[in-house]
Structure 1
């Protein structure tokens, strides 16, 4: 230890003097952490735990002091809290995969602490679990993580992610050696002290081989060789349940992940909240996946669908939690590192594509794109339904305008033309993910919500909204200008191929089919429907309700 006893007790006296007298009454004081383990240095914190008798619910957060140039952390626990802590550890130990790292760490620090005051009470606290039992629990905890990390590395190597596979092989190596060291009584969790722990165990052969394997090269061949060597070393240290065979891995569904296709675009919704839009090749790979196939089989099928190298796409599906990988006989592969972010799906930055939506699906960055939409699933569905419905309304308005002009109903024609302009603008706003929409009369004023390149559309809309219809000549010119405006807006909103809904039975059927695709997604995520009649279209599976 880098502190003399005299210096340690002097720092302790000064630290405790800064606390209320009631905080140190009828208590034991122990030194925890790296200094208590014999690993610390002049920069190490001085970690003090005060143990008090009784049933109190003392705060978990430490008090941090700076005494004579040293950082001192003081924590407090009652005997009841410590008893519950070790009882919870014993209960969780039966399932190492769910055992809390924080709980394991707290118990380890106390069991290997150094009593400074109140030795009898400190001894009672440290006797809540034997070191031998804790050593077995810690070894099992590390071994579980080592297996998961090795399986993770096997999968990455199969998918062609060489550098990542090497990193996870290295992580698995550390976890394996920590499991073995814990079995020898070296249970301190912090991995950075592993070299000193191996020195203390007194097995130079293990230490030297560990050091040899720590720095591999990054080529595919060397990565495979490194993984094989690490697995052999791990087996020699008693780790079981893992091999280098990727055929032990299977591709499986993830609960809460659903697939929705509109036109050629594949959308994947995660947990009914997040929407991923897949590019052409990524969508083909997604459609090629068959749950239960081995990872090599899935990769072969994906190669046929992708036409190039699908490994990165499959790896991204896995990374984002859209699929899961399972080890035959051992459940889902879930790798994690100590003292790091918890395991789980990664959420990428949201897509920056603009406009975000079209009637045929969300925009994507490219053929291999797996793009997270920057709006929640219910808003995505509501906005796309509004986009489709706005185009239906615009089509209907054009039909009504044509009829009004034919009858010389100039005031009706003027109001109908404005209705068509507003419907088109609603579609444009929806394409950019705006939902709920501004009121119709505010649309042209709220176009500052949209990118600057939509300014010509706003100028055109202002001109049309202010144009009177008071003669056949003005009406026909206005109709032609309105059609040009709708074409301009639809091109910007990705709706240029929208069916001419009211021209024929076939066009109306195409409109219903398009609307039904989006209604199904909206119903799945409980999104707001654009009109009540949409429920009937959903119930009829896209057919007209009275169709024979």
Structure 2
């Protein structure tokens, strides 16, 4: 230790009166107990009570004689549970959490100050020699994951990321090597002192050479050097053989395509919309193939951008990477964010969706749609249904005008205008929709671009228009056609078929609706009419048509 026991006992005497009373055994743990630390290091006291209590995990912080003192408490039951959990997974080290390993390590390497008998009893639950093996295996497992991931990123052309993960893998391999020699302290910040104490200059110098950048080496050489050094340190399972890596299906990920847009749903909640090239690369993947083969197929579909796109699919957790005979590759760093799929900021593309699918920012985009999957699919289906109602209302208007039914024509015109507005709200992701009479007043919610803002006044006029003659009917019909065109262009629905003009246009309408009904039903979204469920059963065909 860098502090004397007398000094620590004095500091403890001044600290304990500020702690709730109890019959405590006390140890010093952390960097100072390990022989590291400096004048700015915390004094970490752990108080152990011979009880069954569930004591808080959070430390209390005190300032005593100019030193920052942290006090943690654990009951004998809690400590025993920690070591029991460690024993349960010591042969499956990938399941051991960093927090659990760290708590056990700090206690086993602590310096006793009070209650030596209880401290000895606690430490006897997991001998230090046994812990060295667990810590070494844990670090080796982490190194294996990092180095395999580095190999994958190198294969995919992500050189900088590959080098970063290779360097992380070397840190973890060195920590494994050091743990075998009794240097089990987890935090890497004291690794330099651990290497000094290990008295193996060759290992120390090689580590610092690779850590400092591997002067003169390109990414391929640096990753290769890191893999070789890790193997020299005893980390097995990391030969430089990318063909042992494979791209596999990720549970909870589904794909559907609406017209030309590929959509991928993660965990039944997050919707990702793919640009044209990203969609081609995604569709080209044959899952289960070795990574180099999967990449070759993706490049045939997406060109030079296929590697970075495939890397992005992995980061987002849309596919997973496996090592032959070694399970899923899950790289992680100590004292960092927990591993898991990346969730990017939501897309800012507007409108959010169209009849062709979600809006995207470019051909290589893999954009997170800023709506939960169920709301997204419901809004898309409502967009289709709203435009079907527009077509129905246009037909009603034309029929009423031919028969001089002016009141019927009025209602049809109002209905067509309101339904077109419904479609616009759906395109911006509004679901559920405001009531029809409220649609015009709620247009500011959409923050429409300047060139579409006349939609508001036009809509307000059309839903109040009166038709009482052939002349007014002709004028309103022209205004309505212009309005529908502007709204549909703004909503990405300008290609909507004239549903009721012919068998072909009705069939096109059914096929378009089927794409969205299928995914809305998958997510149990509200359907505008119960009849549309039949579209799923009939695969988009008319349910009663023979042949």
Shorter-chain TM-score: what band? Answer: over 0.9
Stretch moving more, 391-400 or 229-238: 229-238
- 1:304-332 alpha-carbon deviations (Å, 9 max, x no partner): 11133311111100100111111111111
**Which residue number in structure 1 is paired with residue 446 of structure 2?**
450
1:58 match: 55
What is the match of residue 484 of structure 1? Answer: 482
Write the deviation string for residues 3-59 of structure 1: whole angstroms up to 9, x where unpaired: 3333322221111111122xxx32210000001001011111111100111212111
Other-structure match for 1:70: 67
Residue deviations 1:286-320 (CA, integer Å, cap 9, x gap): 01000111111111111111133311111100100
Determine if contact 1:216/1:222 at 8 Å carries over to the other structure. no
Partner residue in 1 for 2:105:
108
- Indicate if the aligned counterparts of 1:257 and 1:322 stay in contact, CA closer than 8 A: yes
Post-superposition Cα deviations, 1:423-454, rounded to whole Å, max 9, x if no partner, equal: 00000000000001000000000011011424
Once the two structures are TM-superposed, the CA of residue 239 in structure 1 deviates from its matched residue by 1.0
Give the alignment of 1:35-50 within 5 angstroms. 35-50=32-47
Whether 1:429 aligns to 2:425 is yes
Given candidates 193, 196, 200, the residue that maps to 1:196 is 193
CA distance in 1, matches of 2:356, 2:494: 10
SS in 2 for 1:522: helix
Aligned residue for 1:75, secondary structure, equals strand
Q: State which drifts further: 484-493 or 70-79.
A: 70-79
Query: Does residue 398 of the first structure (1) align with residue 394 of the second (2)?
Result: yes
1:339-488 aligned at under 5 Å gives the runs 339-453=335-449, 454-488=452-486
Q: Is the 8 A contact 1:30 1:116 kept in 2?
A: yes
Show the 5 A alignment for 1:122-521.
122-216=119-213, 222-453=218-449, 454-521=452-519
Pairwise CA RMSD: 1.2
Which range moved further: 38-47 or 447-456?
447-456
Q: How many residues align?
A: 544
| CA distance in 2: counterparts of 1:402 and 1:504, whole angstroms | 16
CA spacing shift, 1:347–1:301, aligned 2, 3 Å: same
Report the Cα distance in structure 2 between the residues aligned to 1:195 and 1:413, rounded to whole angstroms.
Answer: 84
Q: Deviations over 1:103-151 (max 9, x none)?
A: 1100000000000111111111111110000000001100000000000
Residues 200-251 of structure 1: CA deviation (Å, up to 9, x unaligned): 11211111111111122699x6111111111221111111111122111111
> In 2, Cα distance between the equivalents of 1:491 and 1:49?
67
Q: SS where residue 374 of structure 1 aligns?
A: strand
- Name the CA distance, whole Å, in 2 between partners of 1:117 and 1:487: 83
Q: Indicate the residue corresponding to 1:536 in structure 2.
A: 534
Q: Which residue of 2 aligns with 1:6?
A: 6
Q: Which residue of 1 aligns with 2:16?
A: 16
Contact 1:166–1:218 (CA<8 Å) still a contact in 2? no
TM-score between the two structures when normalised by the length of structure 1: 0.98
Q: Segments of 4+ in structure 1 off by > 3 A? A: none
Q: SS at 2:379's partner residue?
A: helix
